[in-house]
Amino acid sequence: MIDISRYDSTFENKWCPGCGNFGILQAMKHALSSLTIPPEKVLIVSGIGQAGKTPHFIRCNMFHGLHGRALPVATGAKVANHDLTVLVSSGDGDCYGEGGNHFIHAIRRNPNITLLVHNNQVYGLTKGQASPTSSIGMITKLQPHGVHQTPFNPILVALSLGATFVARGFSGKIQQLSQLIQQGIQHRGFSIIDICQPCVSFNSINTYPWYQKRIYELDEATHNRSDLKHAMELATEWEERIPLGIIYQSQRPAFEDTIDALKTLPLVKQETQVDQLRTIMNNEHKRN
């Protein structure tokens, strides 16, 4: 354990009191301290939104980038220095809307990073428009007749694309969420944790009581994480019951493991190959 206060940021927190993000923040600190990963070894990348502000509120390295673009930045940083533990804090709009293409392709690429989606089913920062995960019928100022699109199902999409670690957490269950984050970090490959996060200001449907009524924890002893079919069934549970835990986990080489140039030292630590470069330039001479 590292003293958890080492992750405390002195920057003023800007979230609404009661926001689900506080629970996620707490779980992140707990997970990092439990795994004894010191702040200087951690990089938290985020996009734009309330979720995107997370790295300001935890003392680690931070790259707070563009709306929707956290995953590419995180992947680039991880390739450059695979000694970094890279976490991504993203929102449902950030990750499943603006950055949806990167979500899809990060799954295919399987970089060794951990994605936390603060899924409040609404655009918090921009004051309450519908998000890709908003329920059908949700009324907002900008959707006065109610949302008519089918909600994006991140778990099912992830499973269908061959994701290697798919989990769901709840910001109100900090202990369990910390466990999920720890297992996500320890998973070799892309770990996705979709986190149910009540937004107390703009989402009056998916509230703490709404979630409390539906959530249940998958039984670690009986749930077979490698059963894709069953995972897909679990992924479709929502309106009545919401499963929490690691829904699916499998192994295939992480992105960095497939790259020869990364077999030894991190890219950033390797020596410049001046001699090899000269050989290449000279061979160009000869070959022609």
Partner 1 sequence: MGIDISIQIGGEAGQGIQTVGQLLSLVCQKAGLYVFAINDYESRVRGGESFLQLRIADRPIDAPYHRLHLLIALDRKAYDLHKSELDDGGLVMIDTEIGVEGDSVFTLPINALAKQAGGLITANTVAASACIGLLGGPLTLLNEVLEDLFGKKEKSVMDKNLMAASLGFKAVQLAKFQWAFSWQEKEPKGIMLDGAQSIALGALASDCRFAAFYPMSPATAIMSYLVSYGQKGLPVVVEQVEDEIAAVNMAIGASFAGVRSMTATSGGGFCLMTEGLGLAAISETPLVIVNAQRPGPATGMATRTAQADLLFAIYASQDEFPRFIFAPGTINEAYDTMQKAFLLSEKYQVPSIVLVDHFFNTSLYIADKPFQVPDRIERFYVTDQEISNPASYLRFQVTPDGISPRALPCNGDALVLVTGNEHSEDGHNSEAIDVRIAMADKRMKKIAAMTKEMKPPESYYGDAEMLLLGWGSSKGAIREAVDILRKYGMDAGCLHFVDIWPFPAQIVADMLKKKKRIVMVEGNMTAQLGRIIKEQTGIAYTHTLLKYDGRPFYPQKIVDQFMQ
Ligand X SMILES: Cc1ncc(C[n+]2csc(CCOP(=O)(O)OP(=O)(O)O)c2C)c(N)n1
The residues of the shown chain that bind partner 1, judged by CB under 8 A, are 11, 39-41, 43, 45, 48, 53, 55-56, 59-66, 69, 71-81, 83-84, 101-102, 104-105, 259-262, 267-268, 270-274, 276-278, 280-281, 284-285, 287-288
Q: Which residues fall within 8 angstroms of residue 42, CB to CB, at 6 or more apart? A: 32, 60, 61, 84, 85, 86, 87
| In the complex, least distance from residue 157 CB atom to ligand X, rounded to whole angstroms | 16
Q: What is the helix, strand, coil percentage profile of the chain, to 5?
A: 40, 15, 45
| The only residue of 92, 98, 194, 256 in contact with Mg ion, by rule CB under 5 A | 92
Report if residue 91 touches ligand X, rule: CB under 6 A. yes
Q: Which residues fall within 8 angstroms of residue 137, CB to CB, at 6 or more apart? A: 146, 147
Q: How many other CB atoms sit within 10 Å of the CB of residue 112?
A: 22
Q: What binding mask, one character per residue, do residues 48-87 give for ligand X by CB under 6 A, x or -? A: xxxx---------------x--------------------
The answer to whether the beta carbons of residues 209 and 216 sit under 8 Å apart is no
Among 53-61, 117-125, 241-249, 266-274, the segment contacting Mg ion (CB under 5 A): 117-125
65 makes contact, choosing from Mg ion, ligand SF4, partner 1, none, with CB < 5 to 8 Å by partner type, with partner 1
Residues within window 184-223 making contact with ligand SF4, judged by CB under 6 A: 199-202
Report if residue 140 touches ligand SF4, rule: CB under 6 A. no
Would you give the DSSP letter of residue 262?
G
Residue with tokens 């990348």: 45
| The only residue of 120, 178, 183, 206 in contact with Mg ion, by rule CB under 5 A | 120
Would you give the DSSP letter of residue 120?
-
The tally of CA atoms less than 13 A away on the side-chain side of residue 132 is 18
Report if residue 50 touches ligand SF4, rule: CB under 6 A. yes
State the Cα–Cα distance between residues 8 and 178, nearest whole angstrom.
Answer: 16
Output the six-digit token pair for 277. 């470069």
Q: Which among 204, 190, 246, 206 has a CA at the least distance from the CA of 223?
A: 246
Among 97-105, 118-126, 134-142, 167-175, the segment contacting Mg ion (CB under 5 A): 118-126
| In the complex, least distance from residue 143 CB atom to ligand X, rounded to whole angstroms | 14
CA distances from 165 to 58, 72, 196, 226 (A): 24, 18, 17, 10
**Phi and psi of 133, rounded to 5°?**
-105, 5
16 makes contact, choosing from partner 1, ligand SF4, ligand X, none, with CB < 5 to 8 Å by partner type, with ligand SF4
| The only residue of 29, 30, 82, 118 in contact with ligand X, by rule CB under 6 A | 118
15 makes contact, choosing from ligand SF4, ligand X, Mg ion, none, with CB < 5 to 8 Å by partner type, with ligand SF4
State the Cα–Cα distance between residues 131 and 152, nearest whole angstrom.
Answer: 9
| In the complex, least distance from residue 53 CB atom to partner 1, rounded to whole angstroms | 7
Report if residue 126 touches ligand X, rule: CB under 6 A. yes
Residues that bind Mg ion (CB under 5 A): 91-92, 120
Residues that bind ligand SF4 (CB under 6 A): 15-16, 19, 21, 50, 120, 124, 199-202
Residues that bind ligand X (CB under 6 A): 48-51, 67, 91-94, 118, 120, 122-126, 131
